[in-house]
Amino acid sequence: MMDVRKVKEAQLAELKAALVTVEGTPTEVYSRIVGYYRAVRNWNAGKREEFSSRKEYDIASPTAWPASLDGAMARRSGVDGIATAATGARPVSYLLFTRRSCPNCPPLREFMSSCALSGQLVDVDADEGPDLAAAYEVLATPTVILLGSDGEELARGYTKAQLLALLTPVKTGSGSLVFQPGMHETARA
């Protein structure tokens, strides 16, 4: 009987040693936090805390837009894409951000060339283009930024219709139409 007991204890010791090194099949779980399947062994314990303290953004909320440095809040409209500062200042120049592969850029380039404002054409595919686009936070082409006399941004337009709302058409002596600075009352904040 002692032999049976020693054999059983030896088997039990072997099983306990094997239990320490047991590996099953890799398991994956679908994570709603990151949106794809990930291995459980790679799960970061901090993800649960991250998930509980996540922020949900409401784009329609006026507090979703940052205030400018001087404290004045710029009215930004996601509906029509025009951003105007509530200053009443008149634009004196513009920056037109375009790229070669942009299908909407040529009509806007032609429209801005008929404008009485002095302007600069910025090709975002050129060397200095991405840096200037980043400085003005331009995320799409075409984008026209109307600038005031101090170089401050007064308004943005992305289409000809938006720019028509911001600029005043004037007939020249030759009968052609040019657009001069003059913000319509409806375009002011």
> What is the maximum alpha-carbon separation in the chain?
122
> What CATH topology corresponds to 72-187?
Glutaredoxin (3.40.30)
Residue 115: strand, helix, or coil: strand
List, in sequence order, every beta strand (DSSP E) within the chain: 28-31, 36-39, 75-76, 83-84, 93-98, 118-123, 143-147, 153-157, 167-171, 177-181
Rounded to two decimals, the pTM is: 0.48
Q: What b/e readout covers 65-82, taking b as 16+ CB neighbours within 10 angstroms?
A: eeeeeeeeebeeeeeeeb
Nearest CA to 58 out of 39, 72, 44, 78 is that of: 78
Q: Mean pLDDT of successive 10-residue segments in the chain (189 residues)?
A: 88 90 69 60 62 68 52 39 48 89 90 84 90 91 89 88 77 53 44
Angle 103-108-109 (CA atoms, 0-180°, nearest 5)?
A: 95
Which pLDDT score is estimated for 71? 43
Cα distance between residue 93 and residue 77, in whole Å: 22
**8 φ/ψ angles, rounded to the nearest 5 degrees:** -65, -40
| Helices and strands in the chain: count of H runs, count of E runs | 5, 10
Token pair recorded at residue 2: 């002692």
Which pLDDT score is estimated for 12? 93
Residues 6+ apart with CB under 8 A from 172: 178
**What does the domain layout of the chain look like in residue ranges?**
2-52, 72-187
